[in-house]
Amino acid sequence: MSEGFKFWKVHGESSPFPPDYECSVHTNKFIETVWARHMNLRDIFSGSSPRNFLGATRQLDDLLSEAVDLGQDVVVMQKK
C-alpha cells in the first residue's frame, strides 16, 4: 500500500453503483496526516470490538456494531 492509501475498482461497467463507488483502504497515519488537513480528526475507533462504543445509546451501539462486525473502523471527523 503506497503512501498509506490503496484504491481499486471492484465493479464492472454494468454496475448499478456510481462510477466512483469503488473500494479504498487508508492507514490511520494517512487519515491523521492527509484527511486532518481538511477536517478535524476527533477519533478513530478500531473495528475489533463493538464494546469500543460503550457509553453510546443502545440503539447507536447496535448500529455501530453492524459496521464493526464487517471489520470496518469508524473514523469521526468534524468540519473545520
**Structural domain boundaries in the chain:** 2-79
pLDDT per residue as tens digits for the range 21-30: 887 788 889 9
The answer to whether residue 5 scores a pLDDT higher than 90 is no
SS (H, E, C) 3-68: HHEEEECCCCCCCCCCCCCCEEEECHHHHHHCHHHCEEEEEEECCCCHHHHCCCCHHHHHHHHHHH
| The pairing of beta strand 74-79 with beta strand 23-26 | unpaired
Least confident span in 20-34, 35-49, 61-75? 61-75
Give pTM, 2 decimals: 0.57
Cell of 30: 494517512
- CB half-sphere exposure, 37, CA atoms < 13 A: 4
Reported as a pLDDT band with limits 50, 70 and 90, residue 68 is very low
